[in-house]
Amino acid sequence: MGRSDREAVARGRRLCGAAQGVVGDHARAVEAVRAALTPICEGLAERELDAIPVARLKEVTEGRLRLGEVERAGFRTVRQVLDAGPYRLRQIPGVGQQTAAQTVAAARQIADAVRETIAVHVDVDRPDAQTTALVVALHVLVEAGPEARRALDAARALSDRLGPLLDEARPVSSRLRLLVAGKPGRKRALGAAAEIRAVTGQAERDGVPELLAQASVDLLRGPATEIAALVDFELRSAEYYSLIAEISDRRPDPAAAEGFLPGEVAERVRGQRLDDTQRRVSLRGYQAFGARFMLAQRRVIVGDEMGLGKTIQAIAALAHLAAEGQSHFMVVCPAGVLINWTREIESRSRLRVTALHGPERQEAFADWQGRGGVGVTTFDALRGFPPPRGGEPAMLVVDEAHYVKNPKARRSLAVREWAERCERVALLTGTPMENRVAEFRSLVEILRPGLADTIGDHTGVAGSEAFRKAVAPVYLRRNQLDVLAELPALQHTDEWEEPSARDEDAYRKAVLDGNFMAMRRAAYAHPEESAKLNRLREIVAEAAEGGLKVIVFSTFRDVLAVVRDALASDAVFGPLSGNLPPARRQQLVDEFAAVSGHAVLLAQIEAGGVGLNIQAASVVIICEPQVKPTVEHQAVARAHRMGQVRPVQVHRLLATGGVDERMVRLLANKSRLFDAYARRSAVAESTPDAVDVSDVALARRIVEDEQARLSATGGSR
């Protein structure tokens, strides 16, 4: 009792004041964003409502509303009805009070629905005053980063805890007050002072005062210049859009964000705590759910569509485990993305990372064993390391996990051996099944052999809905359209070209030789007269005029060499191929992204379509159709992904009358199978085996059909 109690209360009051200051500073920063966001959303809503005809109001009232007089009076759109209001509508002859009120009510219902679906897009090439003001306001919160969010959570908790205690401890501030408080009052006041001492002491030991002070500095920092804010937006657009969704409360549909998991699984995942103290990045709601899914379910497949941040979700799960005291983690990935993984771990977390690759990988592995952290290695290198002892590493992450779908492959056996000895395993893949449900089942078998046995072929026959329900304990998948409202438009165009005479000659020779691969690239055999190459030049020239970056994908290195010669530009990078060391691949992508304005990156589709982030590009050219539809999906997703700020145009070059036509037709079934079983969709229309076409069988069928057709037609297409 006495001075020490008064000092404890004074310290508590200062800490509470700092906490309340952070809450207020954050609220003002959020309010500045809302003030900039509201007119943009209202303007977008008004334009949408201006495009909706009055007749749509009948749908809201199931046809009961009579709008003939309203339309004859000149009202054409829902917005005009809202602007008029019930008073003006009642002035129309034949429109009574009830009809006017119902008409406006129906219009407001549509307006509410429109406002819920508004998606704000920032055009970085042509920013207007309103969106620029929004980006400037958002910049304060983005710059403050996840540390400010952590400070805000701590500030709210402290304010809620200390506020009532400080009120109760008020008599401690002077001896006179303490005397007149009476015995019960003194007891309560002294008890509150003791509790305040404990709370402030713990906060000081945790470094909370310093956290609050830094957050206040960050939140009160003056706004950036418009140019600086727009440049930062282009670099970190995902963080800006995440804040827009949060502040405007336009989050994705909860069921979609949770992958349409059954209620009992979703509830368990929601209850999983997620510690962010070892993490340097904020998560979107669906990403936090994905990290919790990995932790709660322990052995899982995260099959999110490309571009939704599977890497970040895995890092968040690793950071949580590190915060709980776990020390060793392993990431296995293709060589081409090893550098990307090490960069992401370093920049997005406080975890130590070691690349276990190259000639000194055994020494690096020994160092990782001794010091801990995240080891990042390749499928091939993993085979050379001794399997772990039970329980270590704390989590095994396998990126591009469809690489291990063949249970007999050596890399699959190595991953399986490690997985058997790890308590937690996360298989990451945007393409969990390419040809057969059985391939997906082989991934499940790595995680839970017992569950794999229950989802045999009969589950596939039962249809996609039964399949997803059966694998729910281990499988989470979300699609871009369900959770990324701000993603720029993706425009696919099939560019059908009539082959030239020289194209025809090269194609006929390839068919007669029975050479499927030569058939696929015959359109580039004579560059000077190639119809596809001419169209590719036109697309690149159009992109150059607009200052847009282009990626050109092909399966074949000789096709990419032809393209490089045809473009003959200093702004052409690559080709990025599977033969390049991982460091050189990433360097090419970085150099391509660093160019100001137009540039072209050439890439083999299997090498450039896996793992790398190429958001700098907004035009994608695919030189020939692919045997596996998912290869094209992956390649396009390298550019059209979270963080992209411009619309993405995809041009697939196709030649009429030959192998391209047959591949497009036959592979449509494979794409439909993937949609039914790996994506969320209606019940499958047929069993998986009914539409499966293996790569070898497809090639043989096309060659034989084309040989027969050319023989019957005398060689013409």
Q: What is the pLDDT of residues 389-411, one digit of tens each?
A: 866 899 999 998 988 988 999 99
19 vs 113 pLDDT, higher one: 19
pLDDT for 416 beyond 90: yes
Q: Are the C-beta atoms of 39 and 189 separated by less than 8 Å?
A: no
pTM: 0.73
Q: Helix (H, G, I), strand (E, B), or coil: what is residue 70?
A: helix
Q: Is residue 21 very low, low, confident or very high in pLDDT (cuts 50, 70, 90)?
A: very high
Identify the residue whose tokens are 């997906």: 440
Q: In what order do the strands lie in the sheet with 490-497?
A: 490-497, 648-655, 619-622, 549-554, 599-604, 572-576
pLDDT at 339: 83
Span 234-241, mean pLDDT?
A: 84
The pLDDT assigned to 245 comes to 86
Which CATH number does the domain 253-482 belong to among 3.30.200.20, 3.40.50.10810, 3.10.105.10, 3.30.1780.10? 3.40.50.10810
Higher pLDDT, 612 or 291: 291
Please give the DSSP secondary-structure letter assigned to residue 279: B
Question: For residues 684 and 503, which has the higher predicted lDDT (pLDDT)?
Answer: 503
Phi-psi category of 202—alpha, beta or left, where left has phi over 0 and alpha has psi -120 to 50? alpha
Length of the chain counted residue by residue: 717
Positions of CATH 3.40.50.300 in the chain = 487-713
Local structure of 94: helix, strand or coil: coil
| Segment 461-487 mean pLDDT | 77
Confidence check: pLDDT of 10 > 80: yes
> Which of the given ranges, 530-534, 579-583, 713-717, has the highest pLDDT on average?
530-534
Share of the chain above pLDDT 90, in %: 51
pLDDT at 682: 29
Chain region(s) in the chain for CATH 3.40.50.10810: 253-482
- pLDDT computed for residue 689 by the predictor: 31
Least trusted range by pLDDT, from 50-64, 570-584, 607-621, 686-700: 686-700
Judged against a pLDDT cut of 80, whether residue 676 lies above it is answered with no
- Is the pLDDT at 181 greater than 90? The verdict is no
pLDDT at res. 685: 29
692 phi and psi angles, rounded to 5 deg = -75, 135
Superfamily of domain covering 487-713 = P-loop containing nucleotide triphosphate hydrolases (3.40.50.300)
